[in-house]
Amino acid sequence: MSIGIVVAGASGRMGRMLCEVVAASDGAHLVGATEGPGHPWAGRDLAQVAPGLPAGVPVTDDPIEVVRAAQAVIDFTTPAATVAMAELTAQARAVHVVGTTGLSEADIAALGRTAHHAPVIRAGNMSLGVNLLTTLVRQVAAALGDDYDVEIVESHHRHKVDAPSGTALMLGQAAADGRGVALDDVADRARDGATGARTHGAIGFHAIRGGDVVGEHEVIFAAEGERITLGHKASDRTVFARGALRAALWGQDKGPGAYDMLDVLGLRALPGA
């Protein structure tokens, strides 16, 4: 059975890739795509604005009807757009796959409320490799304790608008969970000038922006005499698109609730997950 999917933010880098991956899938097909109000793509056929993609797929800035016709929405947009979309997916009882980053605590709480009505699958990164890395970081942090300083370094293309990346925050959360502390209490997101000595137990974040870097992340555990470095490099955005499609398919027989890629990939049962 082929499920109908709506891709939100279809004109963006990830939106186009998602449309291509869904269109090439045997298990899913595009029933619609969305863009913001007044966008040049709105009101047109997807094949007209993105040659090579299927004809007969409407691009709309009023997503109510296409969401009603879908079994899943894949959403890599903005926090405000994602929260608004969640209201529609909840009403339609459609799976909402959320790869949007930069979400505030209030945004996440809003998604949690909609998860009472339909599956919401949210992750800072949809790739298998990054989710395995997250599990490893949690295990290593638990084993080493706070005698090892944790620094997270991430690199992305010049167009990325949020920092630290959602993946970096996901890795920081894994390190904090491994240590049994709250990330907000130990995160150090900026250093400039005479900052003094490093705070014991802090988890540092560093963001690099430039060129066309798809995504690179390193988690460094540094102590006297040794460093342990765990990392992941993505060279092609299709790894994220394929993961998002996998999540949309996985969610079809799941009840309402908040899920993540550890659930989708069956990694929840691993030690430290």
Alpha-carbon span 220 to 172, nearest angstrom = 11
Kind of pairing between the strands at 149-156 and 215-223:
antiparallel
- Check if the beta carbon of residue 33 is closer than 8 Å to that of residue 85: no
Which residue shows structure tokens 């994602």? 82
160 is catalytic: yes
Catalytic residue among 160, 206, 217, 232: 160
In DSSP notation, 226-258 reads: EEEEEEEEE--THHHHHHHHHHHHHGGG--SEE
- In degrees, rounded to 5, the angle at the alpha carbon of residue 23 between the alpha carbons of residues 22 and 28 is 55
Say how many Å lie between the first and final Cα of the chain, rounded.
Answer: 32
Dist. CA 157–CA 141, nearest whole Å: 28
> Hey, CA dihedral for 58, 258, 127, 207, is it positive or negative?
positive
For CA atoms 40, 42, 48, 50, give the dihedral sign: positive
Selected catalytic residue, list 156, 206, 217, 232? 156
Residue with tokens 């560093």: 206
Tokens of 19: 């449309």
Widest pairwise Cα distance in the chain: 62
Q: Are strands 59-60 and 72-75 parallel, antiparallel or unpaired?
A: unpaired
- Would you name the residues annotated as active-site residues? 156, 160
